[in-house]
Amino acid sequence: MHAHTLGAAGALEGIVSVLALQHGFIPPTINYQESDPECDLDYVTAGSRKANLRNVLSNSFAFGGNNTTVIFGKYPKEARYMNKGQQADSAKRVVVTGIGMVTPLGIGKEEFGRRLFSGETAIAEIKSFDTSLFPSHFGAEVTNFNPRDFISVKNMRRMDKISLMTAASSRLALEDAGVQITQENRDRVGITLGTAFGATDVTVQFAGTLLTEGPASVNPILVPNIVMNAPRAILPSSWDFAASNTTVTHFAVSAETAIAYATAEIRRGTADFILTGGVDILSKFYYESLTRFHALSPQNGGTEVCRPFDKDRNGAIAGEGCGIICLESMESAIARGRKPIAKLKARAWDHHPQHRPAGRKIQTV
């Protein structure tokens, strides 16, 4: 579909979970042909499958035993009014009211959802940099993305690719949620963003100039963009909001960890609205790093292809993208007449590289 997007993977998977709940469809399993006896699951092989879904578990794992799970629940159509007991509980319940995304499968949830559930793929030979010296040549790149559709020229001047995708996805999420940032609510809007590698393209450019030509030759505009929290930091200054403002760097579980953390912040009352999700880009440095770690297909011979659940899987395909959801309390959504898309039901973390201690429980939300 859109390949492995590392720090953005959990966000896009979370959005797929929410869309599956909203539309009642399970997306097809990519390139599945023959099952692995040690991974006996109910695969979706003939296009999307219609299903009456009530809960969807979204899970991400990464090197070192890092594992994060978020459970999304369907928001019932008939849930318009609440009794007193439900009203008291609504301030603690966290819901999704907006979705925004810039992905290889499309810009925005409508195009992304249409292509996802029809079984389309965005994986192709990489065009943005030369892969002739690598054993792998395929990836999923964001195309047909025009930042000017979402961001002013003034703000674009100090943004790199990863910040542009984050800003566009955030704007789409806010619009989908019906949230306008004003002087009255600016202190109650925040962002919690996950990323695995950050702006690797800018970092390599900065380091190359620094090491070959010296500090005097470094473009000072690059300096703020080489830190991991650059995309998250640029948005508040551009849109003038000032609540919870956090970056999570936890490799492939970054986005889901960010979502789980943002959920806790909404429950604590730190903010009324939090934009949360993840972003990572496909750069030559990042791609070469994955090939040197033997993480990409093809491994052990065979065809270069993404088929993670197939018996003959032989590595991942790298991708890029950004996914953002807008979270708020159920109480807030109902008060402003906004029907939630889904609700956050539970979250859990695990960081044990060898085994998980007995007795660990999922934390409900």
Please write the tens of the pLDDT for every residue from 11-33. Answer: 888 888 889 888 888 888 777 77
Please write the tens of the pLDDT for every residue from 43-93. Answer: 887 778 888 888 888 887 766 566 778 888 888 765 544 444 444 455 578
- Residue 90 CB burial class (10 angstroms; 0-12, 13-18, ≥19): middle
Q: List domains and CATH numbers for the chain.
A: 6-364 (3.40.47.10)
pLDDT number for residue 363: 53
Tell me the HSE value of 209 on the side-chain side, using a 13 A CA sphere: 13
**DSSP-derived secondary structure letter, 337:** T
Overall average pLDDT of the 282-309 stretch: 85
pLDDT number for residue 359: 45
Cβ(107)–Cβ(168) under 8 Å?
A: yes
Task: State the DSSP H helix or E strand holding residue 328, giving kind and residue range, or none if neither.
Answer: strand 321-329
Please write the tens of the pLDDT for every residue from 181-230. Answer: 888 888 899 999 998 888 778 778 878 888 888 888 888 777 767 776 77
Residue 20 structure tokens:
């599956």
The percentage of the chain sitting over the pLDDT mark of 90, rounded to a whole number, equals 27
Greatest mean pLDDT among 23-32, 116-125, 147-156 lies in 116-125
Tell me the HSE value of 230 on the side-chain side, using a 13 A CA sphere: 24
70: Cβ contacts below 8 Å, ≥ 6 apart: 10, 14, 57, 58, 256, 259, 260, 263, 344, 346, 347
- Residue 144 CB burial class (10 angstroms; 0-12, 13-18, ≥19): exposed
Q: Could you check whether the bond before residue 298 is cis, i.e. omega within 30 degrees of 0?
A: yes
How far is the C-alpha of 311 from the C-alpha of 254, rounded, in Å?
28
